[in-house]
Structure 1
Amino acid sequence: MFYVFLAEGFEETEALAPVDVMRRAKLDVKTVGVTGECVTSSHGVPVKADITIDSIDLDGVQGVILPGGMPGTLNLEANEKVLEAVKYSCENGKIVAAICAAPSILGHLGILDGKKATCFPGFEKELKGADYTGTHTVTDGNIITAKGAGCAIEFGHAIVSLAVSKDAADKVIGDMQCL
């Protein structure tokens, strides 16, 4: 199971485009309402989450995805259950993926120490211990980071590449007419 955490003020493209790519690849993915069942994006789009944060089960989690957006990133970082899920996933070799401002959460937790990473311009200093690349998407071990909304499908591709295979990810992206 993959969990995509949605908190008030999340960036909808950064959350939903990777969900779409992952579901097309037949991955088991759930959107998780951190701040309730209906979560409003940074651009005023209400989204009904599949489950709420109280329903997550870390036994069997394959990975966690943190979309950016403001104040969504701050709301994610303020939630202890989100941080617990990120730490658990990291410590157990599961996929930890963050896009836009959300890699700052990984930096604050020390997860990026010695890792290559990227983020939305202006958040570089928050990636404590990371080797900032400035590229659209970076995979370093089980950690995936991406720059922002324009990279959301590429971010989904990186998640599917790591979770399934590059060939499977290429097929999904090709079928979507992105290649």
Structure 2
Amino acid sequence: MPKITEAKILIMATHGFEQSELEVPLNSLREQGATVHVATLDGKAIKGWKEKDWGDEFNADLKISDVNVDDYIALVLPGGQMNPDILRADKETVAKVREFVSADKIVAAICHAPWLLIEAGVVKGREMTSYHSIRTDLKNAGADVVDKEVAISNGIVTSRSPEDLEAFVAKIVEEVEEGEHERKVA
């Protein structure tokens, strides 16, 4: 059984991510001993959105295009409105998300980040949750939409909002320690 202390986890984001949805998983997973990298579109630092204005800048470790999916056990996708909307328009990012799912990796998306899972075509038939304003998008893409702090469907973890971060991170750790998940690609 893998341990969180041996896990290598990737966070993919761009400008306008909900700051707490990147910062809390990044810090919590690192505090528990995981190696966590941040990948951005250009490999440069990105700025968060903190409540009603721009937040802090976070350094990147690599470009999304340079990500080798086999190097990681899990992918974390923070939300915010801007971040996933920009990323879902980038074909390479969407392909990487699909590749993580196809490779039976744990994929965790919070708030508006399930937009990336919709774009990657991997939500059909899965129990999922999200920020309330995009639940119709999930439903229209074929997901079984629920309203709870964490939904888990065969290695894909989703949560609603920053209020669910504690449960979201705990479920990521639990899934990592269970190991990789075989699943059908939608």
Q: Same fold (TM over 0.5)?
A: yes
Map 1:50-89; keep pairs closer than 5 Å: 50-89=61-100
Q: Secondary structure at the match of 1:73?
A: helix
Q: Deviations along 1:74-123, whole A, 9 cap, x unmatched?
A: 11212223212211111111011110011122123321111100000110
1:132 is matched with which residue: 145, 149, 158? Answer: 145
Whole-Å separation in 1 of the counterparts to 2:175 and 2:137 = 25
Following TM superposition, by how much is the alpha carbon of 1:36 offset from its aligned partner in structure 2, in angstroms?
A: 4.3
Whole-Å separation in 2 of the counterparts to 1:134 and 1:16 = 24
Whole-Å separation in 1 of the counterparts to 2:41 and 2:10 = 11
Whole-Å separation in 2 of the counterparts to 1:120 and 1:78 = 19
Whole-Å separation in 2 of the counterparts to 1:109 and 1:58 = 15
Whole-Å separation in 2 of the counterparts to 1:59 and 1:140 = 21
The letter for the 2-side match of 1:8 is H
Unaligned runs of 5+ in 1: 166-179
More off after superposition, 30-39 vs 119-128? 30-39
Per the alignment, residue 27 of structure 1 pairs with 34
Per the alignment, residue 145 of structure 1 pairs with 158
Native 8 Å contact 1:19 1:156 kept in 2 = no
Whole-Å separation in 2 of the counterparts to 1:76 and 1:22 = 23
Native 8 Å contact 1:116 1:140 kept in 2 = yes
Identity of aligned residues (%): 25
Native 8 Å contact 1:3 1:30 kept in 2 = yes
TM-score (norm 1): 0.85
2:19 is matched with which residue: 9, 12, 33? Answer: 12
The total of aligned residue pairs comes to: 165
Following TM superposition, by how much is the alpha carbon of 1:31 offset from its aligned partner in structure 2, in angstroms?
A: 1.2
Native 8 Å contact 2:88 2:119 kept in 1 = no
Q: Deviations along 1:21-60, whole A, 9 cap, x unmatched?
A: 2112222211112244110112322222233324322223
Unaligned runs of 5+ in 2: 1-7, 179-186
Q: Secondary structure at the match of 1:41?
A: strand
Q: Secondary structure at the match of 2:37?
A: strand
Whole-Å separation in 2 of the counterparts to 1:46 and 1:19 = 13
2:58 is matched with which residue: 47, 51, 64? Answer: 47
Whole-Å separation in 2 of the counterparts to 1:137 and 1:151 = 7
Native 8 Å contact 1:118 1:137 kept in 2 = yes
The letter for the 2-side match of 1:125 is T
